[in-house]
Amino acid sequence: MKKRSKGRRNTSGKIKYKVNNWKEYNQSLKNRGSLTVWISKDIEELWYAINDNMCKRGRLTYYSDYAIEMMLTLRMLLKLPLRQTEGFVKSIFKLTELRLEVPEFSRLSK
């Protein structure tokens, strides 16, 4: 003889909520796709490298470690390839009207 179950149970472990205010719920779902980027006011001063030591061998650095780190952090957070990271930062600078050059993807990989 088979055992009878004692009614249906929520076996997934998730609690189901009933939405009462659809307007707020809809807006909260829209806000999930919103992207907010805070750019420091002193980014223009920190973006380019200061070449104090001219006696080193090799090519002089053009972009600061800050610039390279910022771009690689964005790449990691957004899971973008290097070329798309370059384009993303260019578009952010264009939207914020910053006139800074963006390192090419090949410089980010070195």
Domain spans of the chain, in order of start: 21-109
% of the chain exceeding 90 in pLDDT: 43
What tokens appear for 63 in the block? 């972009």
Q: Give the pLDDT of residue 13.
A: 74
pTM above 0.75, yes or no: no
Q: Give the pLDDT of residue 110.
A: 76
Q: Average pLDDT of the chain?
A: 84
Higher pLDDT, 103 or 9: 103
Using CA atoms, how far apart are residues 87 and 81, in angstroms rounded to an integer? Answer: 10
